[in-house]
Amino acid sequence: MSTTANVQETSVDSEVLTEIRGNVLIITMNRPAAKNAATEAMAKDMAKILDDFEANDELFVAVLTGAAQTFCSGMDLKGFVRGERPSVEGRGFLAITEQPPTKPIIAAVEGYALAGGFETMLACDLVVAAETAKFGIPEVKRGLAAAAGGLLTLPSRTHRAIAMEMALTGDIYSAEFGHAHGFVNQLVPEGEAVEAALKLAEKIAANGPLAVRASKRVIVESSEWDESEKFAKQSEILDPIFTSKDAKEGASAFAEKRAPQWTGS
């Protein structure tokens, strides 16, 4: 396996691990003894990793997961008591909840995705979860609130009533509940979330990278557009795609019955 410029595979004792498979970056939160509870150091590591991912033209998609069959149990409370916050100014919890990458990112969830871990999952574009995964924003049980995006993002990823129930009860919910209510895309057998997420990532990575990023941008930003300006604003983002070299390559590859060779230009 070869690495590309900027992003480097990390050593097994790091709190955030990276691995590259083709055009896909795998990011693994790595504090298994603490159920991958997020620390300030993890947030700083994530900021650098995500910056490098964005800057690397050879990486098209990322998969975010957790070590030892757990996604992330939220904020490290011992660090919180010491005055630490696992956030980066302007970027949010684990440097992702306020400013996700412009490239697609898929959460591969085994075990628990709770509190900030659940909010980190919501910052991803797609979610593949094991059938045994558990979700929740239990902050109210600790006298806190889901301030890392859960209260803002969850209503748009499911129904308002479901978001209200989860936020106000602080209860833990099953993977089946998440799938039924729209914030989980795929359910897979226990232990298979990463491989299933990689298959999904490879499907996305086989497509034109400019078109993929532009499509994500329209979906993310269009909820804030006035009805009268939607198509005009969409055109500003999509028109350059139709005149790109990749668009011509995609048409040529289809006509010639071969796989396209994307250049991202």
Nearest to 122 by CA among 199, 182, 59: 182
Backbone angles phi, psi at 38, to 5 degrees: -80, 135
Is there a single domain that holds both residue 104 and residue 234?
no
Look over the chain and give the mean of its residue pLDDT values, rounded to a whole number: 94
Q: What is the pLDDT of residue 69?
A: 95
Residue 261 lies in a domain: no
- pLDDT of residue 6 exceeding 80: no
Range of the domain at 75: 16-205
Please say if the pLDDT value at position 153 is more than 50. Answer: yes
Shared domain check, 128 and 104: yes
Q: Point out the residues that are catalytic.
A: 119, 139
Phi and psi at 33, nearest 5°, equal -65, -25
The CATH number of whichever domain residue 214 belongs to comes to 1.10.12
Question: What CATH code is carried by the domain that includes residue 122?
Answer: 3.90.226.10
Determine the pLDDT at residue 245: 96
Residue 8 has pLDDT above 80, yes or no: no
Specify whether 167 is located in the same domain as 243.
Answer: no
Sheet holding 134-136, edge to edge: 112-114, 134-136, 173-174
What is the C-alpha radius of gyration for the chain, rounded to an integer number of angstroms?
19
249 neighbors 263 (Cβ within 8 angstroms): yes
Q: Are residues 178 and 94 in the same domain?
A: yes
Residues 197 and 240 in one domain: no
Mean pLDDT, residues 9-15: 71
- CB of 195 closer than 8 Å to CB of 63: no
Which of the listed residues 164, 189, 205 is the one where a domain comes to its end?
205
Res 9: pLDDT: 62
State residue 260 phi and psi, 5-degree precision.
Answer: -70, 150
Q: Does 191 reside within a domain?
A: yes
With a cut of 70, say whether residue 235 has pLDDT above it.
yes
φ, ψ of residue 127 in degrees (nearest 5): -130, 125
45 in a structural domain: yes
The residues pairing with 63 across neighbouring beta strands, listed in sequence order, are 26, 106
What is the mean pLDDT of the segment spanning 168-183? 98
* 195 and 213 fall within a common domain: no
- Same domain flag for 162 and 242: no
Q: What is the pLDDT of residue 7?
A: 56
The tens digit of pLDDT for each residue in 191-207 reads: 999 999 999 999 999 99
Sheet arrangement for strand 126-130: 16-21, 24-29, 61-66, 105-109, 126-130, 186-188
Is residue 10 situated within a structural domain? Answer: no
Q: What pLDDT score was predicted for residue 78? A: 87
* 3 state DSSP class of 220: helix
Percentage of residues in the chain having pLDDT higher than 70: 95
Query: Same domain for 112 and 218?
Result: no
Asked if residue 54 lies in contact with residue 96, where contact means CB atoms within 8 angstroms, the answer is no
User: What mean pLDDT do residues 34-42 have?
Assistant: 96
| Residue written as token pair 């209503």 | 155
Domain assignment present for 40: yes
* Residue 265 covered by a domain: no
The full length of the chain comes to: 265
pLDDT tens for each residue of 39-98: 999 999 999 999 999 999 999 999 999 999 999 999 998 888 898 999 999 999 999 999
* 5 within domain boundaries: no
Q: Is the pLDDT of residue 12 over 90?
A: no
Q: How far apart are CA 134 and CA 130, in angstroms?
A: 9
Q: What is the mean pLDDT of residues 211-216?
A: 98
pLDDT of residue 18: 98
| Domain identity same for 231 and 189 | no
Q: Which residue has the tokens 């992330």?
A: 72
Does residue 80 or residue 12 have the better pLDDT? Answer: 80
The answer to whether residues 265 and 248 touch, using CB atoms and an 8 Å cutoff, is no
Residue whose tokens read 């232990």: 191
For residue 260, is it within any domain?
no
Structural domains in the chain (count) = 2
Q: Are residues 199 and 215 in the same domain?
A: no
- What's residue 80's pLDDT? 81
In the predicted model, what is the mean pLDDT of residues 177-183?
98
Pair 167, 130 in one domain = yes
